[in-house]
Amino acid sequence: MAPEVVKSEQEWRAELSPEQYEVLRQKGTERPWSGKYVSNHDDGTYHCAACGAVLFSSDTKFESGSGWPSFTEPAVADAVELHEDRTHGMVRTEVTCRRCGGHLGHVFDDGPTPTGQRFCMNSLSLEFTPKS
């Protein structure tokens, strides 16, 4: 599906930090344990750092021990899109923001119940809004 938010690479570079641009637009990955949301336990909502779309709820966040913020499912099922990723000699499932196409991370089938999934996201691709 084509993204709703379409911008030139120059516009994305102007709006995002260099680190966010690397992750969201060039499919980079932040170092494990370096992200600001790995140990965040506050109640609230995680949004796409590029376009503001609601992506994940703190209700589905869990400690995976992976070094990245992990969730059992998106806040809204169609908020993300899944794509086969064959980079780095592996076969994984990439997770992107449906609204802007930004790279968020990957999903794995080794998460806890009820979904059995681990949406392993980059903190740089997220913005957190605390519950008021």
Which residue among 48, 97, 100, 120 is the active-site one? Answer: 120
Work out the pLDDT band at 88, boundaries 50, 70, 90.
confident
Average pLDDT over residues 34-51: 97
Instruction: Tell me the CATH number at 53.
Output: 2.170.150.20
Answer whether residue 79 is part of any domain: yes
Q: Burial of 123 by CB count in 10 Å (0-12 exposed, 13-18 middle, 19+ buried)? A: buried
State the Cα–Cα distance between residues 109 and 103, nearest whole angstrom: 19
Answer whether residue 80 is part of any domain: yes
DSSP, collapsed to helix, strand or coil, labels residue 60 as: helix
Answer whether residue 4 is part of any domain: no
120 part of the active site? yes
Residue 4: what pLDDT? 84
Average pLDDT over residues 53-77: 96
Its domain, for residue 115, covers 9-130
Average pLDDT over residues 81-97: 93
Work out the pLDDT band at 64, boundaries 50, 70, 90.
very high
Average pLDDT over residues 75-93: 92
